[in-house]
Chain A
Amino acid sequence: MPHDHADHDHLSPSGHPYRKDQDAPLTHWQQMEIALRELLIDKGVTTAGEIQNQINAMDSRSPANGAAVVARAWTDPAFKAALLADASAATREMGFDIGPMNLIAVENTQAAHNMIVCTLCSCYPRNLLGLPPDWYKSRAYRARTVKEPRAVLAEFGVTLPDGMTVRVHDSTADMRYIVLPARPKGTEGMDADGLAALVTRDSMIGTGLPLAP
């Protein structure tokens, strides 16, 4: 499974491997980034503060935003209808700054499961969920998801009933998708905050299912 790590003796308290320090010798491409950034600042195209603010804005976006959207859709039928009609407007109405992103929500039901991919590049609902996981941008995910989605799902530990339809949505820069997962059984009576904790990033990409309560 993509998020299991075989070597459990070298995991941090967060459950992930310790990261290497990023103090390797400067690469040609890092030199290019520094040089381009300084040129743009020198020319007044942007400022250091504007760049940092943009980084902060991107860092503040995370799957928790999407989880709040999903949990509200599970508990507020009018909001769910609005989300499925126009996900950009509905998420903005919740207060999320998604910029110019055109977002479409696709609903999982007992009959159909949805997955999102970008076969041509790496389009992802980043202005809501933050930057995509590395595997989303990989050749393997891009190539195989539209051809053998169930095999890809199996690698993520997801096995769907045989009769369930799998719909794969190929994103573009101008049309990005988020999966509205099906509300798990046994969550009757839970409030939106409790439900949001069950909504994983992968469940909104379609490579996972929400956690059980």
Chain B
Amino acid sequence: MTQTPLPPGHRWHDMGGTAAGPVPDDQHDFALWEKRVDALMVLCATKGHFTVDGLRRVLEDMGAEAFETMTYYERWIVSVSQNLIEAGVITQSELADKMQQVAARGPTYGEATA
């Protein structure tokens, strides 16, 4: 996507004042999995495992391409997972193993949710 070059010192997410097209008018109702991501973020932050600043730091490090190609809660689940790995709450291999188990359960969200 064509974007205005950012002023020096501005990272991609610092988009205030840059040129952009019309404000989009599409709206979706949040799916259950998205609400669960939101809930996990709030609960883990409330319990002190990471902060909203940690959430944002990973979102920002994911870069502009992730912003354009992934949905909001797709980016959030990556950030929540990464923050919990960094905090030592889970490990990368635990997450990978569990994702394989989930994938083996079936092709839809309903089937894969135990």
Which residues of chain A have a CB within 8 Å of any CB of chain B?
1-4, 19, 22-27, 29-40, 43, 45-46, 50-52, 54-55, 58-59, 117, 119-122, 131, 133-135, 137-147, 152, 155-156, 170, 173
Contacts and interface: CB of A to CB of B under 8 A. Distances in A.
A22 to B, nearest CB: 5
Interface of B: 13-33, 35-40, 42-44, 47, 49, 52-53, 56, 59, 67-68, 70-74, 77-78, 80-81, 84, 89-90, 94-95, 98-99, 101-103, 106-114
A36 B59 contact: no
Contact of A140 (B22, B32, B110, B113): B22
B49 to A, nearest CB: 7
Contacts of B109: 22-23, 26, 30, 34
Contact of B95 (A30, A35, A51): A35
A1 B110 CA distance: 36
Contacts of B106: 26
Contacts of B101: 35
Contacts of A117: 16
Given A29-B74, A31-B103, A35-B98, A43 B89 contact: yes
A121 B13 contact: yes
A31 B74 CA distance: 11
B17 A134 contact: no
The residue in B32, B33, B67, B101 that gathers the most chain A C-beta atoms within 10 A of its C-beta is B33
12 contacts: A19-B29, A26-B106, A29-B74, A30-B33, A33-B33, A39-B94, A119-B15, A131-B30, A134-B28, A135-B24, A143-B19, A173-B52
Interface of B is mostly: helix
The 9 closest A-B pairs by CB, nearest first: A119-B16, A35-B98, A2-B25, A54-B39, A143-B20, A29-B74, A140-B20, A35-B99, A146-B16
B102 A146 contact: no
Contacts of A26: 102-103, 106-109, 111-112
A26 B38 CA distance: 18
A120 B101 CA distance: 36
A103 to B, nearest CB: 15
B1 to A, nearest CB: 8
Given A24-B108, A34-B112, A34-B114, 12 more contacts: A4-B25, A33-B36, A34-B102, A36-B84, A36-B98, A43-B90, A55-B38, A134-B26, A138-B23, A139-B67, A143-B17, A155-B23
B25 to A, nearest CB: 4
A38 B37 CA distance: 12
Contacts of B78: 29, 32
A135 B22 CA distance: 10
Contacts of A170: 16
Nearest to A59: B35
A82 B111 CA distance: 51
Nearest to B107: A25
A126 to B, nearest CB: 9
